[in-house]
Amino acid sequence: MMELSDSKKEITAFFAALSIFLSTIEYLFPKPFPFFRLGIANFPILLGLNFLSVKDLFILFILKAFGQALINGTLISYVFIFSFTGSLTSLSVMILLNRINKKYISLTGISAAGAVSSSIIQLIFAVKFIFGSSALVIAPLLLGISLISGVLLGLFTQEFQKKSEWINKIRNIYLNE
Partner 1 sequence: MNNRINPSNINFITGITLIFPYIQTDSLIIKLFLFIILLFLVLLSGKKIPVKRLLILSASITIFQILIPFGEVLFTIRKLQVTEGSLINGINKSLTFTGLILISLSSVSSSLSFPGKQGILLKKTLFYFEILFSSKEKLSSEKGIINKLDLYLDNIFFGNIKAENKISKNTTELKKQKYRLITNILTVIFFWGAYLSGIFIK
Q: Is 38 helix (H, G, I), strand (E, B) or coil?
A: coil
Site for partner 1 contains 55 (CB under 8 A): no
CA dihedral for 152, 158, 162, 163, sign (positive or negative): positive
User: Among residues 67 and 86, whose Cβ is nearest to partner 1?
Assistant: 67
Tally the C-alpha atoms within 13 A of residue 56's C-alpha that lie toward its C-beta: 22
Footprint (CB under 8 A) of partner 1, residues 9-28: 9-10, 12-14, 16-18, 20-21, 24, 27-28
The pair phi, psi for residue 21, each rounded to 5°, is: -60, -45
Size of the site for partner 1 (CB under 8 A): 37
Nearest approach in angstroms of CB 67 to partner 1 is: 7
Options 33, 144, 163, 175; binder of partner 1; rule CB under 8 A: 163
Stretch that binds partner 1, among 29-37, 96-104, 110-118, 130-138 (CB under 8 A): 29-37
Options 41, 68, 70, 124; binder of partner 1; rule CB under 8 A: 70
DSSP string across 72-112: HT-TTSHHHHHHHHHHHHHHHHHHHHHHH-TTTS-HHHHHH
Between CA 109 and CA 176 the distance in angstroms is 28
Q: Which residues of the shown chain bind partner 1 in the complex (CB under 8 A)? A: 1-2, 9-10, 12-14, 16-18, 20-21, 24, 27-30, 32, 59, 63, 67, 70-73, 75-76, 156, 159-160, 163-167, 169-170
